[in-house]
């Protein structure tokens, strides 16, 4: 598992770097990592325990990709997350399988939940964003004529790549006994 954890850290680091520089996480980072997670687990499992163990490891890697992309897929569908972030979580799930992949995801969301309000407060936009968030949450409860429109330019986009990198490192530290 050590090789997969290290590869996940490298993938998260490259994704964080490209996300900070360009605002995008490219497919050339995420898709090979997703494929190598599944194929690598099958190959390593087959080498260590035969074809049945290899198939089982491949199933776990595929399950990791699916499970780790479930919540991000909903967020992507609702417009709250980019497609690169979704593919990054799927790749990390395939590389680290479901449990560690979900742990990385949880740490990443905790980091994002701590950094985003601090960044907004530093930029002087925290209260405006909180007001827009309240409007978005209360709009379904209001009658149609009383709903408040939130202009798209008032929606704040957060680059999640660096938070995913920090979450991945936190999971690596938490599982340092494996190294």
Q: Which domain holds residue 151?
A: 2-178
Which pLDDT value is given to residue 154? 62
Please give the average per-residue pLDDT across 70-77, as a whole number. 92
For residue 121, the surrounding DSSP H or E stretch is helix 83-123
Tokens of 84: 């690169």
- Measuring CA to CA, which residue among 160, 28, 25 is closest to residue 104? 160
Tens digit of each residue's pLDDT (9 = 90 or more) over 144-153: 888 777 766 6
User: What whole-number distance in Å separates Cα of residue 101 and Cα of residue 92?
Assistant: 6
Q: Report the domain count for the chain.
A: 1
Please give the average per-residue pLDDT across 21-37, as a whole number. 95
pLDDT band at 140 (very low <50, low <70, confident <90, very high): confident
Lowest mean pLDDT among 28-32, 44-48, 65-69, 150-154: 150-154
User: What whole-number distance in Å separates Cα of residue 4 and Cα of residue 96?
Assistant: 6
Please give the average per-residue pLDDT across 33-44, as a whole number. 96
């Amino acid at each position: 598992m050590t090789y997969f954890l290290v590869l996940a850290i490298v993938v998260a680091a490259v994704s964080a770097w490209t996300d900070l520089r360009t605002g995008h996480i490219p497919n050339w980072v995420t898709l090979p990592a997703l494929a190598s997670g599944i194929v690598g687990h099958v190959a390593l499992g087959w080498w260590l325990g035969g074809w049945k163990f290899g198939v089982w490891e491949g199933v776990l890697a595929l399950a990791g990709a699916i499970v780790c992309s479930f919540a991000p897929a909903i967020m992507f569908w609702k417009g709250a997350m980019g497609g690169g972030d979704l593919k990054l979580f799927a790749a990390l799930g395939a590389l680290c399988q479901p449990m560690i992949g979900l742990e990385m995801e949880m740490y990443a969301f905790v980091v994002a939940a701590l950094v985003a309000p601090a960044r907004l407060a530093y930029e002087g936009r925290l209260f405006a964003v909180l007001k827009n968030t309240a409007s978005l949450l209360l709009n379904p409860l209001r009658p149609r004529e009383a709903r408040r429109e939130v202009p798209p330019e008032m929606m704040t986009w957060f680059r999640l790549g660096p938070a995913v990198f920090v979450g991945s490192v936190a999971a690596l530290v938490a599982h340092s006994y494996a190294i």
